[in-house]
């Protein structure tokens, strides 16, 4: 936001590009969970673009991004976040975009030393090199402590008016935002995606180990954001809706998954992911009963829709808390 | 001037916006599109996207958890 404003103040035409990887922490989960209905569901990138008065292009990179998450050349951060590879990938995509649309250079809001993995002094040139953007990549917020780039050398941008921010402290940014008249300076302090989240990363690692291969589809990673996930057996897991909004979201997946819900008592929708034999289905039904309002009842009637089979009804005893090992919870 | 429909139901934001963006990019100014979606976030995001790009929202309707956002394509479509 600040980097863009700095360019706009130099009279440069800027348009924004926002890449959608499928892991972005935008309104999704808020949109799904009913209790979060009151929270604003604005898309941050659109909001920022509107504040700045620039166009924003949102680009779906879901498929291409898989390789970044699955095989990051530079490895992961503290969770499954391949930040350095991710930055290289995004700058490369932005570089392709500017060539196609006749723009001259790319800017990012990076600051040297701000992030342990992707924004270190020694990784800054890696991004330039591996993205192919080379010196058409300008970081206005720390340009003065980096070698001059093409836009600076050509005089398209006045280097003197750029900045020399460095390190994790955000005071200079906040001061600059004030000077620019930007009051709601929405910059996430943590990561910008679910891959930096420990719980989410754990579920992704579980998915890969259960499948025996590192692979995912958009539906997989969406489902990891929703519901309670339990893996009672290595070959199957269940996803339990935690409230109405999540149940409604999970309903959209009924055709693709074996699913269960209680009919004698109100309860959640449960999706079963994996291969389940009759004992497993019985166990899944008992778990479904456990998460329903009939959890204290002696028996609960569960309707089971097995993928590719006729629906069945099962009368089961709900599992008790003690019967559910904590390791089952992902 | 034609009227179109775009189905973005069951997609989560920002997918409905991306679909709208890519669909509108192919249309001449004055055409209208009814975008059907289920993510309530679209009620916020599609109008924001339209304001940024110079398109007009001509109406929104909500029925049984389904939303219809009607857009008139502006002259500076790109
Ligand atoms: S936190 Fe940001 S840079 Fe790191 S992987 Fe996620 S989107 Fe990429």
Per-residue pLDDT of chain A (330 residues; tens, 9 = 90+): 999 999 999 999 999 999 999 998 765 555 566 655 555 567 889 999 999 999 999 999 999 999 999 999 999 999 999 999 999 999 999 999 999 999 999 999 999 988 777 788 889 999 999 999 999 999 999 999 999 999 999 999 999 999 999 988 888 988 999 999 987 766 554 457 899 999 999 999 999 999 999 999 999 999 998 999 999 999 999 999 999 888 988 998 999 999 999 999 999 999 999 999 999 999 999 999 999 999 999 999 999 999 988 999 999 999 999 999 999 999
Is B78 contained in some domain? no
Lookup result for tokens 């700045």: A52
- Contact list in B for residue A54 (CB cut-off 8 A) is 52
Is B61 contained in some domain? yes
Average confidence score pLDDT of chain B: 92
Least Cα distance to A21 among B77, B42, B18 occurs for: B18
Is A201 contained in some domain? no
Helix A171-179, helix A2-9: angle, nearest 10: 40
Quote the number of domains for chain A. 2
Q: Which helix (H) or strand (E) holds B32?
A: strand B32-37
The B residues from 23 to 62 touching A (CB cutoff 8 Å) are 39-41, 44-45, 48-49, 51-53
- Indicate if ipTM > 0.90: yes
Instruction: Take residue A207 and report the two structure tokens written for it.
Output: 């998915």
Q: Across the interface, which of B21, B39, B78 has its CB nearest the CB of A31?
A: B39
Is B28 contained in some domain? yes
Burial class for A180, CB neighbours closer than 10 Å (0-12, 13-18, 19+): middle
Is B57 contained in some domain? yes
Is B77 contained in some domain? no
Least Cα distance to B13 among B46, B58, B36 occurs for: B46
pLDDT of residue B78: 55
Please report the atom of ligand 1 found closest to the CA of residue A194: 6
> Same domain for A150 and A24?
yes
Is A212 contained in some domain? no
> Same domain for A175 and A241?
no
Is A153 contained in some domain? yes
Domain closes at, from A194, A216, A239: A194
Please list the ranges in chain B whose pLDDT falls under 50: 77
Beta partners for residue B66, in sequence order: B63
> Same domain for A44 and A94?
yes
> Same domain for A82 and A174?
yes
The dihedrals phi and psi of A65, each to the nearest 5 degrees, come to -70, -20
CATH code of B59's domain? 3.30.110.40
Is A12 contained in some domain? yes
Is B8 contained in some domain? yes
> Same domain for A187 and A310?
no
> Same domain for A321 and A253?
yes
> Same domain for A18 and A155?
yes
Residues with CB under 6 A from ligand 1: A 81-83, 86-87, 118, 191-193, 195-196
Contact B72, B55 (CB under 8 A): yes
Question: Which residues form the domain of A304?
Answer: 228-328
Q: Is B13 a catalytic residue?
A: yes
Domain closes at, from A194, A218, A250: A194
Is B76 contained in some domain? no
> Same domain for A38 and A151?
yes
Please report the atom of ligand 1 found closest to the CA of residue A82: 5
Is A319 contained in some domain? yes
Domain closes at, from A194, A220, A251: A194
pTM for this model (two decimals): 0.90
Is B34 contained in some domain? yes
> Same domain for A35 and A129?
yes
> Same domain for A30 and A149?
yes
Is A241 contained in some domain? yes
> Same domain for A245 and A168?
no
CA of A281 to the centre of ligand 1 (A): 38
> Same domain for A176 and A257?
no
Is A220 contained in some domain? no
Please report the atom of ligand 1 found closest to the CA of residue A77: 4
Beta partners for residue A240, in sequence order: A228, A270
Q: Which helix (H) or strand (E) holds B6?
A: strand B3-8
Nearest CA to ligand 1 atom 4: A83
CATH code of A176's domain? 3.40.50.620
Question: Which residues form the domain of B11?
Answer: 3-69
From CA A327, how far away is CA B20, in angstroms rounded?
Answer: 43
Quote the number of domains for chain B. 1
Is A222 contained in some domain? no
């Amino acid at each position: 936001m600040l980097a863009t404003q700095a360019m706009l103040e130099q009279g440069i035409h800027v348009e924004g590009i926002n890449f959608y990887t499928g892991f972005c922490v935008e309104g999704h989960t808020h949109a799904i969970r009913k209790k979060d209905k009151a929270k604003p569901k604005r898309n941050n990138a659109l909001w920022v673009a509107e504040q700045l008065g620039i166009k924003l292009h949102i680009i779906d990179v879901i498929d291409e991004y898989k390789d970044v998450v699955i095989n990051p050349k530079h490895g992961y951060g503290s969770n499954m976040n391949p930040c350095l590879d991710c930055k290289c990938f995004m700058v490369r995509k932005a570089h392709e975009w500017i060539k196609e649309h006749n723009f001259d250079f790319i800017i990012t809001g990076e600051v040297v030393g701000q992030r342990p993995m992707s924004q270190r002094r020694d990784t800054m040139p890696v991004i330039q090199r591996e993205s192919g953007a080379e010196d058409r990549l300008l970081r206005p917020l720390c340009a003065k402590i980096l070698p001059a780039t093409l836009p600076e050398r050509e005089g398209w941008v006045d280097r003197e008016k750029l900045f020399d921010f460095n390190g994790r402290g955000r005071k200079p940014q906040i001061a600059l935002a004030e000077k620019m008249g930007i009051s709601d300076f929405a910059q996430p302090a943590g990561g910008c995606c679910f891959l930096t989240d420990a719980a989410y990363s754990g579920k992704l690692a579980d998915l890969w180990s259960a499948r025996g291969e590192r692979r995912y589809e958009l539906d997989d990673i969406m489902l990891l954001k929703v519901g309670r996930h339990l893996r009672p057996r290595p070959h199957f897991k269940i996803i339990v809706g935690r409230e109405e909004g999540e149940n409604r979201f999970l309903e959209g997946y009924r055709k693709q998954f074996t699913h269960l819900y209680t009919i004698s008592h109100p309860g959640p929708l449960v999706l079963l992911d994996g291969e389940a034999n009759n004992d497993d289905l019985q166990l899944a039904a008992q778990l479904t009963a456990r998460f329903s309002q009939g959890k204290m009842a002696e028996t609960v009637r569960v309707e089971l829709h097995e993928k590719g089979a006729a629906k069945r009804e099962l009368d089961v005893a709900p599992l008790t808390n003690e019967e559910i090992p904590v390791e089952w919870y992902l | 001037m034609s009227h179109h429909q775009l189905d973005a139901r069951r997609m989560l934001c920002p997918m409905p916006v991306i679909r709208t963006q890519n669909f509108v990019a192919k249309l001449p100014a004055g055409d209208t599109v009814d975008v059907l979606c289920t993510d309530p976030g679209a009620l916020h995001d599609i109008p924001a996207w339209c304001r940024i790009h110079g398109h007009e929202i001509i109406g929104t309707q909500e029925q049984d958890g389904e939303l219809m956002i009607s857009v008139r394509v502006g002259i500076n479509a790109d």
